[in-house]
Amino acid sequence: MDAVSFDDMDLIVTGMDMPMPGDEVISRLRESRIHIPTLVTVTTIMKNMRRQLLTLGAQEILQKPIDLTVLFNAATRYLG
């Protein structure tokens, strides 16, 4: 993430099964005081994982497979 420029980003969509999991992405963003709305995709939504991600600062958790309408609506909520 050190080489990434966040200047042009309005929204981040990440997943828990990425090389850098979504919870780590959110933690690093918050440590760097970067406030970009973040949506996290997961295969299975578990209560404790959902709570943890929301506590870290995720705006929403989306279950895979992602319904494009759900993704569009979530993105619209944060992009205006």
pLDDT band at 14 (very low <50, low <70, confident <90, very high): very high
Contact 60, 40 (CB under 8 A): yes
pTM: 0.87
CA distances from 1 to 6, 12, 26, 27, 28 (A): 10, 13, 11, 11, 8
Q: Where are the domains of the chain?
A: 12-79
Topology at the third CATH level for domain 12-79? Rossmann fold (3.40.50)
Q: Nearest-CA neighbor of 56 among 74, 41, 40?
A: 40
Which pLDDT does position 8 carry in this prediction? Answer: 80
pLDDT digits (tens, 9 = 90+) for 16-56: 999 999 999 999 999 989 899 999 999 998 999 999 999 99
Query: Residue 43, exposed/middle/buried by CB under 10 A (0-12, 13-18, 19+)?
Result: exposed
